[in-house]
Structure 1
């Protein structure tokens, strides 16, 4: 008689992830960040400058989401492009204006 069973480890459950939303030095939204869920063994320890609240979506051209740390919420403000050089800023604004055209 031949034993055809194989010794396999039980399937590992996929790691559960938590999605956080990060802001930069000027508090503007910079992107999502996923990190492991600790499965309620401890409170979620958020990375710096991260919240579990999603920022507002579908903002008009020239607007951006920024995190208000005092209120603990996202706000919408005029986009600050002062960090860009003049040529790059002009190209971006032209592209945004072209998107608005019917």
Structure 2
């Protein structure tokens, strides 16, 4: 038995695949890290050292898709640029009903 429901797991898997695919195809990254933690919520943190994507670029379909997947289940998605450059995606989702 898992604390993560199928809906949350499916959305998290889609986000992970999308971020990795975009990083490999478009960012020029040489390193990519995926960290998944389970505490009070599911937290997926993916970082790369490629060219950054703007967290404010709402038109970018990948950003919109990730944010939508999180929001539909009461979660969040934030993109930042780490101090050394690249992109960090922090995607979170609660285990229970949407907040």
Q: Shorter-chain TM-score category? A: under 0.3
Structure with bigger helix share is 2
Q: TM-score scaled to structure 1, two decimals? A: 0.24
The higher relative CO (CA closer than 8 Å, separation ≥ 6) is in 2
| Bigger Rg, structure 1 or 2 | 1
Q: TM-score scaled to structure 2, two decimals? A: 0.24
